[in-house]
Structure 1
Amino acid sequence: MPTEVSMPPQSLDELLVHLRENFATLSTQFQGGARYLLDHPQEIPILSMRKIAANAGVQPATLVRLAQFLGFEGWQGLRELFVESIRGGPQPYAKRAKKLVRESGSSRMLTEMLDAQHRNLDLTGANNAESMPQAADLLSAAPNVYVAGFRSCYPIAFTLHYVYRLFRPTVHLIRGDAGTLEMELRALTAKDAVVVVSFAPYSQESIRVADAAREAGCRVVALADSTVAPIALHADCTLLFSIDSPSFFPSITAGVAAAEALVEQLLAKKGKGAIKALELAEGQLHQTGAYVPARRG
């Protein structure tokens, strides 16, 4: 039986890491509450304690005791970590757009945007120095790789799929067109790997893909904005990208850069086999008229 925590975790990341590392030592009731905190962090700030307890299949008193076990005075202290994590999160798009309209015509807008993108790229590079090679190893070892990203994350997923498939035919894009997501997810097997892309607010489809991949026994690579994103909590490897932007909508520039960097490492790992496959694909594209012929003379 684990001992109670004398000093409560000071951040959401710290709390979730502690729960993951000590989950196996918790009582059955505490595991029920902890599992819900780990699996549904986005719901903790918006649902009542009674609703959370009902969803987790435990009594409200269990959540109070779990919070106290973790070093908090009560449930509210634990819940506040989840609340704080979204206070600093992105504002509603419309609210940010109003600010931009008020500043329209400002000569600073382009400079601010480019400065933000530079910072995003720097942070993305710093955060993935160790995890990028791990993700490349994981994907290279799988017989099939599936890639999924929805709404604004679709361009990131499509870029990864399109460029990777130039030298590897067993890469598949999960699209879910016309409500076929469940049908596509049936193809997943325990030997496959799945890349899921998402950032806050997280799409339901991305969570469904991550859950289905885990249930099928796949290895999961999360390409996300946070280590506690719903798709990252149970991922085998997480690649982080920064989405900060002075505009009304989060930036996907660093996400695309992360996808391109991952493909670069995948090609390097495959070596001569990738080069041969790439030459074949390039030749077929030219032969079928996909590209405008270069002018001569």
Structure 2
Amino acid sequence: MNPAMNKPKESPPTSLDALTRRIQRDFSGMPPQFQVGARYLMDFPADIPVASMRRIAAQAGVQPATMVRLAHSLGFGGWEDLKNIFVQSLRRAPKRYADQARRVVSGGGRDTLNESAATLAENMKLLAHLNADRLPLAAKLLAEAAHVHVAGFRASFSPAYALQYLYRLFRPTVTLLRGDAGLLEMELRSIKRDDAVVIVGFAPYSQEGQRVTQAARKAGCRLIAICDSVVAPIALKADCVLVFPTETPSFFPSTTAAMALVEILVEQVLTMAGRKAIDQIQRTEQQLRDAGAYLEPK
């Protein structure tokens, strides 16, 4: 008797992360057509909540029945159950800050320094795994754009500002969409077809961030989303998505990995720009010194 016949059926994954781990674990043993379908699920997760199964199958290059059988092989009752995993990830309710704060306060005796350092270190390790294949495209889109617009609101403002500040050291045509005094709509009018828009955000996602993505799509320019999920609202119609983890034992999502990702992205763009960028940085730095921006050693 085939031992596989006696193997108990596994419960279906209950989250997108769990589904990803299941596919990664089983991929090498899947039939070729299942591998094609599974690869599409992992490569284009933003399509799954918004497209029909037939359209997804056609884009993947398999028959619709293959996607149904793939869902069954992963433990689901059918395609809709598999699709719901992607929908739930898109709509998942973010953790309430107050609830997290209560947990932190109630565990006041724990070693918060070591726990926080370990969590942030793990976030940093994930950056390469999540973005190795995506970073070159993001850098290329920025380099090719006539003008780059950067936006991030509330807690996402810091990494957005860092990206604009660093990039502007060697490229003058980079601006920050701030929306001060309720003027965001006026700022969005400056976005043109040959530009690129970078939007930074994590759950709970801001209304302003969604307006920026809509304006970018309406203008027909390139859109790069730097966010916490490939199925975040700001990522669904992006040309490129860079992902950062926000895990932390504290009460507020961590932006440490987001800041690191922004710095890495600017480094990639600098490498592509080459000598011209180095000359511009040298001029910018000298201008700042001449203007008295820095304290000079005595």
Partner letter of residue 255 of structure 2?
Answer: I
- The answer to whether residue 289 in structure 2 is matched with residue 286 in structure 1 is yes
Q: Pick from 108, 120, 136: which aligns with 1:117?
A: 120
The AA in structure 2 aligned to 1:98 is R
Task: Report the 3-state secondary structure (helix = DSSP H, G, I; strand = E; otherwise coil) of the residue aligned with 2:112.
Answer: helix
1:33-87 deviation line (CA, Å, top 9, x unaligned): xxxxxxxxxxxxxxxxxxxxxxxxxxxxxxxxxxxxx999899958853675379
Whether the 8 Å CA contact 2:90–2:233 is kept in 1: the answer is no
d(CA) in 2 for partners of 1:274, 1:216: 28
The 1:23/1:176 distance shift into structure 2, 3 A limit, reads farther
* TM-score calculated relative to the size of structure 1: 0.74
Which secondary structure state, in structure 2, belongs to the residue aligned with residue 81 of structure 1? helix
Structure 2 counterparts to residues 203-222 of structure 1, below 5 A? 203-222=206-225
Q: 1:94 aligns with which of 72, 80, 98?
A: 98
In the TM superposition, residue 100 of structure 1 has moved relative to its aligned partner by: 1.1
Given the superposition, is the C-alpha separation of residues 209 and 191 from structure 1 closer, same or farther in structure 2, using an over 3 Å criterion? same
Q: Distance in 2 between matches of 1:157 and 1:219?
A: 17
Structure 1: unaligned runs, 5 residues or longer: 1-7, 27-69
Show the counterpart of 1:45: none
Q: Give the distance between the partners of 2:82 and 2:53, measured in 1 at CA.
A: 17
Aligned to 2:195: 192
Distance 2:222 2:54 in 1: 21
CA deviation after TM superposition for structure 1 residue 103, in Å: 2.1
Listed one character per residue, the Cα deviations across residues 67-119 of structure 1 (whole Å, up to 9, x for unaligned) are xxx9998999588536753797642110110111122253x100010001101
Cross-structure match for 1:241: 244
Secondary structure (helix, strand or coil) at the match of 2:124 reads: helix
Shift of 1:17: 3.4
Which residues of 2 match residues 117-196 of structure 1 at below 5 A?
117-196=120-199
User: Residues 89 and 231 of structure 2 are in contact (CA less than 8 Å); yes or no, is this contact kept in structure 1?
Assistant: no
How many residues in Structure 1 have an aligned counterpart in Structure 2? 245
**1:17 maps to what in 2?**
47
Could you say what secondary structure the match of 2:200 adopts? strand
Q: Deviations over 1:229-286 (max 9, x none)?
A: 0110100000000000000000000000000000001111111100110000000111
Helix, strand or coil for the counterpart of 1:223?
strand
1:182 shift after superposition? 0.2
Q: Tell me what 2:228 maps to.
A: 225
**For the aligned residues, what is the CA RMSD?**
3.0
If the length of structure 2 is used for normalisation, what is the TM-score?
0.74
User: Which residue does 1:37 correspond to in 2?
Assistant: none
SS of residue matched to 1:257: helix
Who is 1:41 aligned against?
none
CA distance in 2, matches of 1:81, 1:243: 20
1:11: Cα distance to partner? 6.0
Query: 2:267 corresponds to which residue?
Result: 264
CA distance in 1, matches of 2:183, 2:136: 33
Contact 2:148 2:174 (C-alpha < 8 Å) held by counterparts: yes
CA distance in structure 1 between the aligned counterparts of 2:100 and 2:197, rounded to whole angstroms = 33
Q: Deviation digits for residues 211-240 of structure 1, max 9, x if unmatched? A: 110110010000000000011010000000
Does structure 1 retain, via aligned residues, the 8 Å contact 2:49–2:86? Answer: no
The DSSP-based 3-state class of the residue aligned with 1:260 is: helix
Alpha carbons of 1:23 and 1:81: their partners in 2 closer, same or farther (altered >3 Å)? closer
Letter in 1 for 2:230: T
* Whole-angstrom CA distance in 1 between matches of 2:80 and 2:167: 47
